Amino acid sequence: MRKPMMAGNWKMYKNRDEARALAQEIVALVGAEEAVDIVLCAPFVDLCAVAKMTDGSKVSAGAQDVMWIDEGAYTGEVSTPMLVAVGCKYVIVGHSERRGRFGVWPKDWPEELHAVFMDNDVSVNWKARAALAGGLTPIICCGETIDERHAGTTDTIVRGQILAAMAEMTEEQIGACVFAYEPVWAIGTGEVCEADEANRVCGMIRGVLAERVCCGAQNIRILYGGSMKPDNVDGLMVQPEIDGGLVGGAALKADSFACLVTAAAKTA
């Protein structure tokens, strides 16, 4: 039986004081919930405050990215040991907004700025392995663009991302990861993937994991992400292959996030 997980991705929202207040509210609402692993992935500068505020509760702090090297001359980067030192337990790796949105850029951004977001299949693998080696649980994201879906290549794209993310990992390491299926077209758009289709892709991902992990793929958690909200969470969480959510917009308010946690708890 896989324990459900609800992970909030706060993206570039909330300064330190706002983050502390939101974490406090969430702890008050669901901080004693034992049936769900609850994660708040906050901006780097907020992590210390969020980790302190959630300490002693069932809520954990997570980061949104990590460098694959522990220390060195990498201006602006943050490493696994640094995240662990402030009490962080999880890290999102390879979110589509860091993989250069698969080339889906705001129209007014010149091409020169596209390289600012630089993740690809190789860096995702390196980051996930560095996180595991240093004691963080990576939440590894994958998902197709709308063009790839229309072209009928969803499974090929997602399969390729998952295989690349697992490169050179031991079975034990793969088993320690969390995966998140996040169709790019459903992130922040209000457009949710149909529950049975999200379930199908998550099942396909589990099949890919099973190619690398002899008997343990049934124990690996696979989350769905993409406009998950209180009014659609039940339909998603009831799906057998969906073990929780990676949530953006609905994680920015304590009551809606708590609602998602409660829905996940019902499936435990």
Residues that bind ligand PEP (CB under 6 A): 9, 11, 95, 182, 187-188, 225-228, 246-250
Judge whether 213 and 249 are in contact, CB under 8 Å. no
Please tell me the distance from the alpha carbon of residue 216 to that of residue 113, in angstroms, as a whole number: 41
221 to 110, 180, 202, 203: CA distances (angstroms): 38, 8, 10, 11
* Residue 211 a catalytic site member: no
Q: Which residue type, as a one-letter code, is found at position 64?
A: Q
Check 144, 148, 182, 241 and give the catalytic one: 182
Write the burial class of residue 5 (CB in 10 Å: 0-12 exposed, 13-18 middle, 19+ buried): buried
Shortest gap between Cβ of 230 and ligand PEP (angstroms)?
12
For ligand PEP, the closer CB: 52 or 229:
229
Shortest gap between Cβ of 7 and ligand PEP (angstroms)?
9
Please tell me the distance from the alpha carbon of residue 76 to that of residue 81, in angstroms, as a whole number: 15
Check 33, 95, 97, 148 and give the catalytic one: 95
For ligand PEP, the closer CB: 31 or 225:
225
Shortest gap between Cβ of 211 and ligand PEP (angstroms)?
26
For ligand PEP, the closer CB: 11 or 127:
11
Name the helix (H) or strand (E) containing 172. Answer: helix 171-175
Residue number with the smallest Cβ distance to ligand PEP = 248
Classify the phi-psi angles of 263: left when phi > 0, otherwise alpha if psi is within -120 to 50, otherwise beta: alpha
* Residue 182 a catalytic site member: yes
For ligand PEP, the closer CB: 22 or 213:
22
Shortest gap between Cβ of 237 and ligand PEP (angstroms)?
14
Active-site positions read 95, 182
